Amino acid sequence: MTINGFLQISLFVAILILLAKPLGSYMARVYQGESTLLDPLLHPIERCLYRLCGVRFRGATASGEGRDVEEMNWQTYAIAMLLFSAVSFLFLYALQRVQAYLPLNPARLGAVAADSSFNTAISFVSNTNWQGYGGETTMSYLTQMMGLTVQNFVSAAAGMAILVALMRGIARHSAQTIGNFWVDLTRTILYILLPLSLLLAVVLVSQGVVQTFAPYQRVSLLQPTLDAEGNVVTEQLLALGPAASQIAIKQLGTNGGGFFNVNSAHPFENATPLSNLLEMLSILLIPAALCYTFGKLVEDTRQ
Using a 10 angstrom Cβ sphere, with 0-12 exposed, 13-18 middle and 19 or more buried, the burial of residue 241 is buried
On whether the CB atoms of residues 210 and 241 are closer than 8 A, the answer is yes
Average pLDDT over residues 73-85: 96
pLDDT in tens, 106-140: 999 999 999 999 999 999 999 988 888 999 999 99
Give 41's contacts (C-beta < 8 A, 6+ positions apart).
none
pLDDT in tens, 223-242: 988 888 888 988 999 999 99
Q: What is the pTM of this model?
A: 0.91
**Number of other residues whose CB lies within 10 A of the CB of residue 289:** 22
Average pLDDT over residues 265-270: 94
For residue 242, what are the β-bridge partners? 211
